[in-house]
A and B are shown apart, each in its own frame.
Chain A
Amino acid sequence: MISLMTFGLSNLNLDIGDYCRDETFSLMDVALDQGFSVEETTCIANVFYAECEGYDIGNSYADCLD
Chain B
Amino acid sequence: MTASARKDGMSMLVVDDEVIVRESLEGWFTEDGYKVDTAESARAALRLAAENHYDIALIDIKMPNVDGLELQARLGEVAPDLTVIIMTAYATVETAVSALKAGAYDYIVKPFDPDELSHLVRRAQEHRSLQSENLRLKHSLETVAPPVEIIGEAPSMARVHELIDAVAPTDATVLIQGESGTGKELVARAIHARSPRRYNPIVEVHCGALAEGLLESELFGHEKGAFTGANYRHKGKFEQADGGTIFLDEIADISPRVQVELLRIVEEKRVTRVGGKHSTPVDFRIVAASNRDLREEVKAGRFREDLFWRLDVVPIELPPLRERQSDVPRLAEHFLERFCKSMNRKGLSFSHEALEALQAYHWPGNVRELQNAIERAVVLGTPPTIEVSDLPHYVTDKTGARPSSGSLAEMERAHIEGVLTQTEWNISRAARTLEVDRGTLYNKIHKYGLKKPEHA
Q: Bound pair: A and B?
A: no
Chain B contacts to A: CB under 8 angstroms: none
